Structure 1
Amino acid sequence: MSFGNGTSKGLSTCEEALQRLLVGKPTVPEHVGLDLSKLTASIVSLEAGFDRGYLKKSRKAHLPLLAQVEAVRAEASKGTGSLSSKQIRQMERQLAALEKALSIAEMQRNKVLAQNMKLWQRVRELERSMADSRSGRSSNVDPVLRNNNGMAFTPA
């Protein structure tokens, strides 16, 4: 049986099935959430209500539809297809963990920078104090230093 546009009813049914698969609204429960990189002519045939072997390369009328199925599968295999929700959730968890690690690293960096600034200021004060004591001027900075054990000593 042929329609006025030269396509058979079965081919038209397969084209409709392919469109349902592409928009993610298949009628066959097994095809719900189908990864388009796994799309085959047999899946389209089953979605249309036929057996797996309905679409054949030997039928010239089927070739455009088969080429379209192959193009969709190739495009999805390149990584331009949609990711599964499981993959998206996993990537979101990884992103959250990386953001947390970054936040911790930034806090540690800021703490170390603050400590370094305090140490640099203290060194500058001590240098000024030593320069003042050599030149005979008095200084407001206490010249007593402490070693690693906490023992006080006066620089020579």
Structure 2
Amino acid sequence: MSGDGVFSSGVLSCLAALQRLMDGNPTVAQHVGLHRAKITAGIVSVEAGFDRGYLKKSRPAHLPILAKIEAARRSSVSSSISSTSSDVKRLKGKLRLLEDELATVLTQRDKVLTQNIQLWERVRELESAHRNSNAPELTTLT
């Protein structure tokens, strides 16, 4: 940090901007809803009120905040990976439940189809018995 304090106040502004971004409370409209994995040094610089190229690796005073930005990105990626694996587990559980429900529904469908076929056969038998008997024909209204 230089003796005139410009860098220290700039770095402090960038630290505050990084914290706002991490908390989901940015002041720049373009940064609203920005995922942590998308936070870059340029975004932090703009959020702090500087141009996109303010934070540079070549400036020793900026190295700590650049490391914090990188750490925030990495923690975001690892947390999204762990949340993705938990999402996969949750979805596998849902899939098992749906497969069980499908098996139950298919069994019920087969049972109803069997009953319908049995009823159809019984109706055919009764119609045949009725035709073969000497009972008067049923008249239909047309």
Q: TM-score range by the shorter chain?
A: 0.5 to 0.7
2: CA distance, partners of 1:107 / 1:16: 57
Partner residue, 1:52 = 52
Total equivalences in the alignment: 106
Deviation at 1:99, TM superposition (A): 9.6
Deviation at 1:80, TM superposition (A): 3.0
Structure 1 length as normaliser, TM-score? Answer: 0.53
Correspondence 1:1-156 to 2 at 5 A: 1-2=4-5, 8-80=8-80, 101=98, 105=102, 107-108=104-105, 111=108, 115=111
Supply the AA of the counterpart residue of 1:2. G
* 102 and 30 in structure 1: CA distance in 2 versus 1, 3 angstrom threshold: same
1: CA distance, partners of 2:76 / 2:102: 38
- Asked which structure has the greater RCO (Cα within 8 Å, sep 6+), the reply is 2
Please identify runs of 4+ aligned residues in structure 1 that moved more than 4 A: 97-104, 148-152
- Aligned residue for 2:58, secondary structure, equals coil
Deviation at 1:70, TM superposition (A): 0.7
Structure 2 length as normaliser, TM-score? Answer: 0.58
Identity %: 43
Deviation at 1:61, TM superposition (A): 0.9
Deviation at 1:76, TM superposition (A): 1.6
1:11-66 deviation per Cα after TM superposition (whole angstroms, max 9, x unaligned): 10000000000000000000000011111000000000000111011111110100
2: CA distance, partners of 1:23 / 1:106: 46
Supply the AA of the counterpart residue of 1:77. V
RMSD over aligned CA atoms reads 3.9
2: CA distance, partners of 1:39 / 1:22: 9
Q: Which has the higher helix share?
A: 2
Deviation at 1:78, TM superposition (A): 2.8
- Aligned residue for 1:10, secondary structure, equals helix
Deviation at 1:110, TM superposition (A): 6.1
Deviation at 1:100, TM superposition (A): 9.4
Deviation at 1:112, TM superposition (A): 6.4
